[in-house]
Amino acid sequence: MSLTLLLSCGGYHSVEAPLWDPNVEVAGDSLYVMLPQARALMRLADTGKTDFVDLDGATPDRLVPVPGGERLLVYSSWVTCQDPEVELQRDCLEDDLGIDYELGVLGAEGIEHRIDAPGHLDGLALSDDGRFAVMYLGGDLNASTVDRVADLDSVFLVDLTSGASTSITVGFAPRNILFLPGNENALVLSRSTAVLVDLVEGDVDVRYELTLDQDEGVDPSVAVLTPDGHYALVAISGEDLLYKIDLQDPSIDIEELDGEPTALAVDEGCDCTVVAYRYENQLDLLFHESFERETLEVEDRTEALVEHDGIVLAFDRDSAGHDVYAIDLASGELTEYVIANRLSTAWIDDSGRFGVGLMIPESTSAGSDAVEAYADARYGLAVLELSDDEVRNLVLEGVPTEVGLLAGDTTTHAMVLLDQDDEALLIDLSNPHPPAVIELVAPPARLGTLNDGRFWISHEAALGALTVIDPLAPGDQVVLEDFGAVGVFPDDTLVRRNP
Amino acid sequence: MRVFVTFPALCAFVACSDNNLYTAGADYAETGYASEEGDWADADTDADTDSDSDTDSLPSEEENSFFAMAPAPAPTYVFVANPDRDTVTRIGVPALDVLTAPVGEGPEQVQTTPDYLYAVTYNADSDDLSILPADTLDEERVSVRKNLDTLEMSPDGSWAVVYNAVGVEDESSGGATSTKEASFVHVTSGAHTAMALGFQPRDVAFTESSAILLGDAWLGVVDLESDPLSIELISIGDEVDPPETEELVLDPEGRYALLRQKSASNLVLVDLVDFEASNLEVGAGPTDLDLTPDGTQAVAVARGDGQLWLYDLDDPGGAPEIIGMPEGEVLGSIAFSADGGPALLFSTATGVSRFTSWDPETGEFGLHPLPKPVSAVGVDPTGGTALILHDQADSEDIDPTYEGMYGITLVELSSFRANDYALPAEPVSFTHSDDGQRGYFIMDGKPYLEVLDYGALLIDEVRLKSDPVFVGTLPETNWAYVSQEHDLGRISFYDPDDGSLKTITGFELNSGIEVEE
């Protein structure tokens, strides 16, 4: 979420920021809600109990869940005034106003660490054990967040356990961060450079130049690590090749491919990487032991991959092809699913039983029958039963804005939010039609899951509204309302602290 | 230019007689100086064509360098110099692990010592040598004289000799420049001795205790066991206008050197003990000079007289044995087999599509047809199979299949059963495995490794990822390696036992890897 704080220098208060932000996040058993107008972060239980997180006067700008489900990162900021005599924001000359930023590590007991992090680093990568964060410039540069100088060649490392942080130079426009097994090292890819970083020491171990001529920069596009962390496989934008970077005995080899790779999916079980291509009607399995490729011919090209626990879904977002392929990496078996419309995105549920794809409208081809024309004109949901190779095409009478999956022991449910619709669709993927229609208190905004296996839905409601739904008992909803109607007239006193 | 030394058993490839002989000529091809090597071959002109030995009007016998051996990489490594990055890359086999080390500026040549414990680079731009232990690549750098161009290692690996060879184009780094000096570097101690030679050498060869620097007017003998190093000069020709020295043969004991000079009507015998030179009678138009496989005789081919002149190396000044070659055949070159079996006599100048066999034991000659004229001949290391190359030049009696084509013919020497192949492009580099079972060659602009099975007389192709540049073998293994065109460096390793090809691409990027201490 971009920073929307508006400064008021007049002698009156006004509601200039939204009361609440529907980009809710979950940590532990609580929901956390940002209140921009109140410049506060609220913790909200499904019982309706609320309290505030002490941000020491800062305003929460963005929440990011930390792997493990128990902590959040809180991007926050506050207004400063260069004149030390000024106490109220409205008394500060405009030229003296500024903004400071920090990153807070929020646990069950509140903010555990406050880190003086550069405000413009909007990109974030987190190790899967939740110990380390790597902040970088993600490309959505908002000049107002830059404090005089933006360093385009560095990343900012944060030890989320100790709160220690450091900035290190890695290369121009770093953006692809891969954490090695053990999470004590990370490979940071930037233009023409790859850098192996020691996250514990906070310094660079190895620097790899990806070109001999820096005037001819190469841009890493997609990258994965082999499961043992021995190699990084890095595709280069516009090139039919894959850099194989040896992270243990630093060296580089280049594998030539049959086309430009657009997606890579790595699997520990087969110890292989699936390679998808922009223009080739094939998928390759690249086995890490020998780095030999096995090619799987496919009828439609497949430039996108989704992987979960030994199953890979391959599909194409750009062409008119209606094929989705599932690869069982344990057996190497390729299954073709023919769906109604092309996909824009896809997921595999945590149980591995189902694949779900969001189908988007497409122009109707000549000779299409009425059913095809009906489907072509609408969004839809494709439900792939990965165990018995069946596909169900569900046409949606509305524009889906959010899709969430929750897998239980025996069932998997999809929740679908439709734009400006007071109803949500709850779909039992093993029996997808008809879906359960959930009446909502207001049009939905965002969708997420709680750690206890329930969905939450935030709504477009000025004073705040959240619904918590158990997919196994959708009638027993918890609705939390009007929690945003606090702190409408916030204190204008400047925050005077030096983090 | 050919130089023979004391390993006659290794002289399997007569047409590239500097195979395995630790000579500068071999190194030209090894380090990518193919054109210079070609110039050397071109310089090996037929004495008969000169007015002072006007016995026939045929062109020169071409000493084709095609069969030049690859540099001797270590059994488990190949070292590649990166002149643009001032580094050397060591590629391990079969793991393809890569280690890169900085060296001096412009490492244009890299060689390994025969024990494979060191790699040595000559860094032309910084005028120094980098001596690198093969296991660590921890560099010791030794400055040498400026503006040298050619690196040679002594057979025992103790010495590296750097000099300015005749015919090698190089750029002066400025300042006073001499072509008549050399640097001698002791590899293990790093001790450097600079020496004014008094002449510009064409090549260097080694005996057990000395380096023989070969010029046109002078032969320089450097005693490598003296301290300090010293040189003895031996006059071998007119100092004002000497003929080009084209071939050198050393006897196995290191007592004599025999020289063949361009357009000369005699050979030159050099006594390396007394440092004296004398003329040695030979038949008209000597066009080739070789050692017999057992190293006991030197053989000159006198094309003008149609004779072979055999000199006993125990007494080279004594009366030679003269053998007449078959009448009607014009033969200018000889290729011996390593096992002492039949030798091949042929001409690269006459354009006839046949060769002549000669059995040294029985003295019998035989005439054998070929699909087209000969451009080069070699014999596999076991002596069982001859390889005969054909270039695009055609003769009247050519097999139409080969018209305008390159070709190669494999000949089983025990029966003279032959198998010939038309080739789509010019073979540019050749090598054979240590066990002599297979040969390998590559062709200009064709992305294939050609694998020769000497026993079966068959050739198979292995597809490469890009056009090859050089082919070699790893000593003490059956592996072949092929460097290939690629901006970032590419080399493939072929294991004939299982037919697998492993390729590493982009290894030059490794020179840009910085490992923080």
List CB contacts (< 8 A) between A206 and chain B.
513-516
Whole-model pTM?
A: 0.80
For residues B505 and B62, the model is more confident at: B505
Residue among A204, A246, A256 whose CB faces B505 most closely = A256
Whether the per-residue pLDDT at B497 is higher than 70: the answer is yes
Residue the block writes with tokens 């839809």: A380
**Best residue of B89, B510, B511 to probe chain A, by most A CBs closer than 10 Å:** B510
Q: Say whether B513 and A255 touch across the interface (CB within 8 A).
A: no
User: Any chain B CB within 8 A of the CB of A390?
Assistant: no
List CB contacts (< 8 A) between B514 and chain A.
206-207
**In the structure encoding, which two tokens stand for residue B262, read together?**
């361009």
Residue among A207, A212, A251 whose CB faces B488 most closely = A212
Q: Say whether A212 and B487 touch across the interface (CB within 8 A).
A: yes
**In the structure encoding, which two tokens stand for residue A29, read together?**
């058993």
| Cβ within 8 Å of B, A 229-248 | 241, 243, 246
User: Any chain A CB within 8 A of the CB of B512?
Assistant: yes
The residue in chain B having the minimum alpha-carbon distance to the alpha carbon of residue A292 is B502
ipTM of the complex: 0.80
pLDDT in tens, B8-46: 222 333 333 322 222 222 222 222 222 222 222 222 223
The residue in chain A having the minimum alpha-carbon distance to the alpha carbon of residue B512 is A209
User: Any chain B CB within 8 A of the CB of A203?
Assistant: yes
User: Any chain A CB within 8 A of the CB of B98?
Assistant: yes
Q: Say whether B510 and A210 touch across the interface (CB within 8 A).
A: no
Distance of CA B411 to the CA centre of its chain: 22
Please, how many CA atoms are within 13 Å of residue A306, restricted to the half-sphere of its CB?
A: 21
Whether the per-residue pLDDT at B471 is higher than 80: the answer is yes
Residue the block writes with tokens 């972060």: A41
Check residue B46 and give its pLDDT.
Answer: 30
Q: How far is A138 from chain B (nearest CA, A)?
A: 26
List CB contacts (< 8 A) between A194 and chain B.
none
Residue B68: DSSP 8-state = P
Q: Which of A109, A108, A113, A86 has the alpha carbon at shortest distance from A97?
A: A86
User: Any chain B CB within 8 A of the CB of A254?
Assistant: yes
With 0-12 / 13-18 / 19 or more C-beta atoms within 10 angstroms meaning exposed / middle / buried, residue A484 is buried
Do strands A333-338 and A343-348 pair parallel, antiparallel, or not at all (unpaired)?
A: unpaired
Q: Say whether A209 and B513 touch across the interface (CB within 8 A).
A: yes
**Positive or negative torsion for Cα B223, B228, B233, B239:** positive
Q: Going residue by residue through chain A, which has 499 residues, state the pLDDT in tens, using 9 for 90 and above.
A: 233 333 344 445 566 788 999 999 999 999 999 999 999 999 999 898 999 999 998 999 999 999 999 999 999 999 999 898 898 888 999 999 888 899 999 999 999 999 998 888 889 999 999 999 999 987 665 555 666 667 778 899 999 999 999 999 998 888 899 999 999 999 999 999 999 999 999 999 999 999 988 788 899 999 999 999 999 999 999 999 999 999 998 999 999 999 999 999 999 999 999 999 999 999 999 999 989 999 999 999 999 999 999 999 999 988 778 899 999 998 889 999 999 999 999 999 999 999 999 999 988 776 678 888 888 899 999 999 998 889 999 999 999 999 999 999 899 999 999 998 899 999 999 999 899 999 999 999 999 999 999 999 999 999 999 999 999 999 889 999 999 988 777 777 887 665 4
Q: Say whether A250 and B509 touch across the interface (CB within 8 A).
A: no
List CB contacts (< 8 A) between A243 and chain B.
506
List CB contacts (< 8 A) between B505 and chain A.
241, 253-256
Residue the block writes with tokens 């001096």: B104
Region at B39 (left for phi over 0; alpha for psi -120 to 50; beta for the rest): alpha
Under 8 Å CB pairs connecting chains A and B tally to: 62
Whether the per-residue pLDDT at B418 is higher than 70: the answer is yes
Q: How far is CA B409 from CA B10, B357, B371, B457, in A?
A: 22, 15, 8, 9
**Best residue of B90, B498, B505 to probe chain A, by most A CBs closer than 10 Å:** B505
